[in-house]
Structure 1
């Protein structure tokens, strides 16, 4: 443990020309309160934004139903991520960011569909049972949320680089200690790239970013058997646009916290080497 802490603090002292987000910004660190939409007046013409609001309502109700069906007990981190997405889309809609909201609604619908498939699977297999002690269940949910937030905060990369943000390395150290104490979870690390560059190059770079995160988690003592990596290149941006701050935010990894026996449900085979 002393060696690990020494490595972490040594990395914090490294300076360079890489560019990262301001403290507390970027990745999935932002927790937006759910917006209360402005009411639609009787004489107000309906536009595309009202269709998006309807889509948001459908997605929100879909998530509510999954939570009622105990999705939060079985997949607490995924439900936490879906709640964050829901609040983010509401903020975008209230702010008039229709294109961003439309893109994020597609991501949210895909996430909810996958969550529904996973929930159906574990119900058929009877591999997830809500705890009889509700206090223990709430504790598990809070732990999953804490680990998820650590893994998905301060996780951007410099342009054309797989070098980790030193602040993010500290997050990985803390998360790995929690994961080593609670062995019911595994991780799916997905690498992302910004919109610049060729598709093949972006796929490879995004995969290298995911592998680098896996490497550090392994250094901090997490079993490689609990870490799976994948890459989507630039195909799943967190923000739309080509401005420097948007590209920085899109150069990231996203990490899902899954139950140990939960199927990965990847669109393509997982790159789990390295």
Structure 2
């Protein structure tokens, strides 16, 4: 722990150690946040300053965990953390203060879980990632599965039927998931902002259940899947345009690695 704290202080002092979204991973628009957000003597602190400070701390904490081996043992969680980190950067750069604050809360929980799991495997000299997987890089398998699960997953209005292209991707993802039994899935259904909120909640739940149903058909044990729904409450983008509503009608799927301490009984997303 002393080593970890020393690394954290070094990264706090050296802003060059913080990571930025890699080229091509920034979504619809890429932004790079620097740690410099000057505050003049005659200017008050704003919410943006606090968000950028929290974002910088979380980015540096993730850097430390990667240096300590998190990407080797829990590549899918690291990919998930980096993806959300890029999303937070876009939200802060775009002035979406509420969205950024919400994602920072989620990111803090994710990194806390990752740190807890990494401490466990380091203390017991074990690693949750099967070492027989044909990986060219530690996060390659998790990144490929996550891409397949979260690409082309939009739905028609008021429908939870999967489009054929997405079904094919689920089948391909299932093949890879069978090679990585430590990976579990959290499937969250979403809806756009049209219609009754209660109906949208039900619709988003049905979308998540339909994806879970197909993954089970493709051979993934139900015990590896958990379903949730948020209705219209967590849009990917804010707006009334048809193309924005389309991408908000979706499911989002997170890969969760079980630490050995969680393998008995039902898994939990901390």
- In the superposition, the TM-score normalised over structure 2's length comes to 0.70
1:265 and 2:268 matched: yes
Tell me how far 1:78 sits from its aligned partner.
1.4
Tell me how far 1:87 sits from its aligned partner.
1.6
Residue 102 of structure 1: aligned partner: 101
1:50 and 1:40 map into 2 onto residues whose CA distance is 7
Q: Deviations over 1:233-258 (max 9, x none)?
A: 23861436462544443332222223
Residue 65 of structure 2: aligned partner: 66
SS of the aligned residue for 2:186 comes to strand
Residue 16 of structure 2: aligned partner: none
SS of the aligned residue for 2:227 comes to strand
Q: 1:126 to 1:206 in 2, by over 3 A?
A: farther
In terms of mean alpha carbon deviation, does 36-45 or 81-90 score higher?
A: 36-45
1:232 and 2:235 matched: no
Q: 1:166 to 1:38 in 2, by over 3 A?
A: same
1:34 and 1:226 map into 2 onto residues whose CA distance is 38
Contact residue 188 and residue 230 of structure 2 kept, 8 A: no
Contact residue 205 and residue 233 of structure 1 kept, 8 A: no
Residue 119 of structure 1: aligned partner: 118
The equivalences for 1:203-242 within 5 A come to: 203-219=201-217, 221-225=218-222, 227-234=224-231, 237-239=234-236, 241=238
Q: How many residues align?
A: 238
Residue 48 of structure 1: aligned partner: 47
Runs of 4+ in structure 1 deviating by more than 6 angstroms, as ranges, are 129-133
Return 5+ residue gaps in structure 1 as ranges: 1-27, 268-274
SS of the aligned residue for 1:155 comes to coil
Q: 1:215 to 1:33 in 2, by over 3 A?
A: same
Tell me how far 1:222 sits from its aligned partner.
2.0
Query: Relative contact order, CA 8 A, sep 6+: which one is greater?
Result: 1
Tell me how far 1:36 sits from its aligned partner.
3.8
In terms of mean alpha carbon deviation, does 28-37 or 140-149 score higher?
A: 28-37
* RMSD over equivalenced CA pairs, Å: 3.6
Residue 76 of structure 1: aligned partner: 75
1:92 and 1:130 map into 2 onto residues whose CA distance is 32
Contact residue 212 and residue 227 of structure 2 kept, 8 A: no
1:29 and 1:225 map into 2 onto residues whose CA distance is 32
In terms of mean alpha carbon deviation, does 234-243 or 168-177 score higher?
A: 234-243
2:115 and 2:235 map into 1 onto residues whose CA distance is 22
Residue 30 of structure 1: aligned partner: 27
Contact residue 155 and residue 253 of structure 1 kept, 8 A: yes
Tell me how far 1:64 sits from its aligned partner.
1.7
Residue 25 of structure 1: aligned partner: none
Residue 18 of structure 1: aligned partner: none
2:120 and 2:113 map into 1 onto residues whose CA distance is 11
- In the superposition, the TM-score normalised over structure 1's length comes to 0.69
